[in-house]
Amino acid sequence: MISHRIALYPGDGIGPEVVDQAVRVLERVQQISSEFQLRFTRFDWGADYHATHGRVAPEDYLDLLRPFDAIFLGAVGLPARLPDHVTL
């Protein structure tokens, strides 16, 4: 069985809702197929992280993401709380 490590970066606004539902679909496909395994790790970075830490993501975010096979990036940005140029 092939195994894939997927980093989830849901982002802000509707991002977490969309990512959560997409993960539900992927988990169901995984159950039906049984030919692959998806292992998800969630990184709750974005506007809330920035409010607590003064950064959208930790300084070593690239090192944290590098071991993964894929990154599932949700919608980022919450202009009412954090300007887009800071988020991106």
Residues 32, 53: Cα–Cα separation, whole Å: 40
Amino acid identity, position 42:
R
Residue-wise pLDDT for 48-83, tens only, equals 999 999 999 999 999 999 999 999 999 988 888 888
Contact present, 10 and 44 (Cβ < 8 Å): yes
User: Do 67 and 35 meet the contact criterion of CB atoms below 8 Å apart?
Assistant: no
Q: How confident is the model at residue 87 (pLDDT cuts 50, 70, 90)?
A: confident
Distance CA 48, CA 31 (A): 33
**Span 2-87: which CATH code?**
3.40.50
Residues 73 and 9: beta-carbon distance below 8 Å: yes
pLDDT tens string 8-53: 999 999 999 999 999 999 999 999 998 999 999 999 999 999 999 9
**Domain locations in the chain?**
2-87
